Structure formats: C-alpha cells, structure tokens
A and B are shown apart, each in its own frame.
Chain A
Amino acid sequence: MHHDEAMGWGVDRDPQRRPGVPAEQEPPRPAAGAVWTEPPSQPAGRAGRRQTPVYGTGQPLHGVSGVVRRLAYRAPDHQVRHWMLLLLADRLEVAGSRVREEPARALAVAAVLVGGLLLVRGVRGRRRS
C-alpha cells in the first residue's frame, strides 16, 4: 500500500519540494498581495491591549466579566494570572447570561447550591458538637 503511486508516494521526498522548507523563508520577503510595508490601519477603535492595524470588533467588553477581562489584560502573557483571570471572566460572563436568559432556572440552581452548602455546614457542625 505504501508505495502506492496513486497516493503520490514520495512525490515530496525532496525537501526542496516542501513549501515549509526552510521553516523561515530565506531571504525574508512579503507575501504575494502584500504591497505595503506597514499595512494601513483600521480606524482606531477599542482594539485591545495594544493597537494593531487590523483587529476583530466582535463582542466588546461589558459588565462584570468586562472588568475582570480588563484586569487580566493588565498582566502580561507570561504571568499565569493573565490566563486565569480570562478563564474566570469567561465563566462569569456565561453565568451572567444564563441568569438574564433564564432567571427562574438560575435561581433554582443557586437555591440548590446554597441549600447544599447549608446542609454540609449543618452536618459538620453537628459532628463537631
């Protein structure tokens, strides 16, 4: 099977034929179609941590999760706190949107959680006494 001509066995055996060899293009050169050296900029809006010429504009920051995300972006990438705060903000945002969409259900879940907590504390308290 492996020397199967139909599957093109070995046609790219020669590293010269592989588009990603060498890993870094030598000499460096712009991609076809990139006629700029510094690409023109999208109107500066609320990009993010820094301003890049192009950026996405979906889902702007809002509410509590927005505050946490802003805090997260104050920490650089190599600090764990940056990523942990982002993950926390993700959960907060989802919880918030569930509360807004289905207040009754969210209330029921909260009640069960609080009830459970009280029960656990009650059991522990009884054990201690």
Chain B
Amino acid sequence: MRAVAYHGPGTLRVVDKPEPTLEHPNDAIVRVTRTAICGSDLHLYHGLVPDTRVGTTFGHEFTGVVEAVGPSVRTLSEGDRVVVPFNIACGACFFCQRGLLANCDNVNPNTDIAGGVYGYSHTTGGYEGGQAERVRVPFADVGPLKIPDDMEDEQVLFLSDILPTGYQAAEMGEVKAGETVVVFGCGPVGLFAQRSAWLLGAGRVIAVDHVAERLDLARRWAGAETVNFTEVDDVVLHLKRLTDGRGADVCIDAVGLEAAGSTLHRVLGAAFLQAGRATALTWAIDAVRRGGNVSIIGVYGPPWNLVPIGTAMNKGLTLRMNQCNVRRYMPHLLEHIRAGRIDPRAIITHRLPLEEAPRAYELFARKQDGCIKCVLLPAAA
C-alpha cells in the first residue's frame, strides 16, 4: 500500500509499505478514506519529537471503512464507516476508567508520560499512522465511532482530534457565562477552541495570531475579536488594555512549542536549553487575570520549558492541560454538528491526493497559499 514515510526533518516521501495486519484479537484494519495533517504532525515533521524513526508513517486524524476485524471485536464489522480518535486506549485501566483515555497505561511500552497515538513516534507507542491507504486500529471496540449513514466523512473527520481538542481546551478553561476568553493561536485547534468558548457561554472571545487569513477566519467564522501580535507593541499590555487592565478570565494556549514572537525563547530553543519555545504559554500566564485559568492544549516536548511559574503561583492561577481524551467528546460534538451549531468543514482550505503529502506538509508548515487545514485523499477513497 501507499503510505507517507518520514525521512528526516523536513523530508517526507510517499512509499510502498506492507499492508497492516491484525496483531491483536481486538484489532481492526481500516481502509482510509480521508486523513488530515495536524499542527502536531508539524512537530514530528520538524524533528522535535524524540524517537521519531526513519520510515514512520504519520497521521492521527482519519476516517475509513472497516476491512477486517480480529476475533474478539464485537461492535464493528466489515464495511462499517468509522472515525477514529487519535488516542489508542484500552478502556479499562486505572486511567481509562477515570476517562483519561489519553493517558492509558496499556498501550505504550516506551514511556510513563504518554499514552498511545497513531503515527506519532515511538514516544507514543510506535504505532503506524493513518496517512496511508490502510491502518491497523487497536482496541477497535473502544476507540472508533461509527459514522451515521446520513453524514459525510468530512463532516465528522475532525472528531478524530481537533474539534474535541479545541472543545476540551475551552472546557479545561472552566469558562463561565459572560467570561472573557483569550485564545492564543488561530490554527485549526485555536479556531475550534474559540467556537467552543461560545458554546460554553463566553461573553467575549479574543483571538491572537500573526497570520492574516487565520485571524480573518477567527473574525468571520469564530466571531472573535482579533489581535495580530506583530502589530502591537506588547501583546500582554495590549490584552490587559482590552480587559479593563485586569486581564482575561481564561487564557488558552493553542500554539505549543513552535511559537513565534520571542527572540529570547527562539534562542533558548535553538540552543536546546528548552524544548522549542514557550512564548504563547508565557503570554497566557502574563495576560490572564489573578485567580484566572490557563488551559494548555498546545504540545510541548520533553525535557522542559522556560515558563514563569512564579508568576502563575503569585497570581493564584489554575493551570490545566492534557492531550485530548477524544472519545469522551465524540458523541456530544457529533450532536453539535448534527444540530448545525458547527460545521467543521469550514476550516478545510486544501484537499490533495495522498501522493502529494510532501507538498501538503510544506504548504501547511509554511502557511502558504492561505493554508489552514489540509485533507489528504488516498487513491481508492
């Protein structure tokens, strides 16, 4: 089959790979119909995630059709259309029982800090990803959601990651009715976090980025006030001015370790004195009000980052964070899609054949051609 394979920082190739096989009684094999490139994939693509091995197939956002199931699979059968959460989880361990499906104890032999994720290095379990014609889906009875017959793949594709992730970001901010929410980042995750903040009853949503067309979508589609951080002197002071000098009730970091905007962070990151650049997180801590909430959904790498934790302590902040526990959110967000409250397709700017994945990554990484979200189509889709 054809699959996207990593060949070093900035280099991907579409290659022939062996078909996936059933390796566990609860596995399924899914033929991929749609797969997307995520901001998280860029961290891999840029060589920032430890133990990303040459030849790895990326991709953790996909829909597909079940082609085969292992002997213990009860809820899925051949021909079912599914959307698959990016987390692989057993559903029954200490963590899964508490709903922390992103932190499953039974799916990652390589580390204690992360669960299992498709196509996301051996640090998250060494699973092959969905940017391929077919993919092995472990714990098929736990993860996948059947796509309702009357819905198209692209309507639900982002239930695999970025819609639940954006929602969980707002939810971890514990937004109360009427509160002011600042979202750093107007990428796919930031945009969905902005829409989710409204669902939770926010009074104001302020979106921060430096890419014109993303800020534009934040304004038009997410109904946010926007701040281009390159156009203001000091983004923290600017945000405070916008919020009566007090700061926002909730700040969300939907940027992660590849943030722009600070030379200091850039230098420290380049010198390997921190993992990437914690610029947006620092701004979030500085721009939130005393006693406010900071929600971190942006990804950071080990071993550490330069973060003003003393400021956070003195201000009495609540910091919440995690990988998204995707499966928990799928039914609820499916209802929002069905009710027409949100159409996730609105952020798709590019649809390209799987064969053109290397170009798609380049467009998305460099934010060229107005690229906000790329969907890849395998030949047989």
Residues of A whose CB lies within 8 Å of any CB of B are 1-2, 4, 6-13, 15, 17-21, 23-25, 28-43, 47-59, 65, 69, 72-73, 76-77, 80, 83-84, 86-87, 89-91, 93-94, 97-98
Task: Pick from A15, A29, A55 the residue with the most CB of B within 10 Å.
Answer: A55
A42 to chain B, nearest CB (A): 4
The stretch among B134-142, B152-160, B258-266 that forms the contact with chain A is B134-142
B9 touches A94 (CB 8 A): yes
A56 touches B96 (CB 8 A): no
With a CB–CB cut-off of 8 A, which chain A residues contact B336? 8, 11
A31 touches B89 (CB 8 A): yes
A35 to chain B, nearest CB (A): 7
B221 and chain A: residue at smallest CB distance: A7
A70 to chain B, nearest CB (A): 12
With a CB–CB cut-off of 8 A, which chain B residues contact A52? 105-109
Residues of B whose CB lies within 8 Å of any CB of A are 7-9, 23-26, 47, 50-57, 72, 74-75, 88-92, 94, 96-101, 105-113, 116, 122-123, 125-128, 138-139, 141-142, 168, 171-172, 174, 177, 195, 198-205, 223, 301-303, 320, 325, 327-329, 331-332, 336, 339-342
Task: Pick from B8, B53, B327 the residue with the most CB of A within 10 Å.
Answer: B53
Q: Which of B57, B92, B174 contacts A36 (CB 8 A)?
A: B92
A80 touches B303 (CB 8 A): yes
Asked, given contacts A4-B223, A58-B56, whether A90 binds B51 with beta carbons under 8 Å apart, the answer is: yes
Question: What are 22 sample pairs from A and B whose C-beta atoms fall under 8 A apart?
Answer: A1-B223, A7-B199, A7-B342, A11-B336, A15-B174, A20-B329, A23-B172, A24-B98, A31-B142, A48-B108, A48-B122, A52-B106, A52-B108, A53-B106, A54-B116, A55-B125, A58-B53, A58-B126, A76-B112, A77-B112, A93-B53, A98-B8
With a CB–CB cut-off of 8 A, which chain A residues contact B53? 58-59, 65, 90, 93
Bound-complex Cα distance A58 to B94 (A): 27
Bound-complex Cα distance A19 to B198 (A): 16
With a CB–CB cut-off of 8 A, which chain B residues contact A24? 98-100
A57 touches B92 (CB 8 A): no
B103 to chain A, nearest CB (A): 11
B128 touches A69 (CB 8 A): no
Total A-B residue pairs with C-beta atoms closer than 8 Å?
A: 208
B202 and chain A: residue at smallest CB distance: A2
A41 and chain B: residue at smallest CB distance: B24
Bound-complex Cα distance A69 to B320 (A): 32
A17 and chain B: residue at smallest CB distance: B332
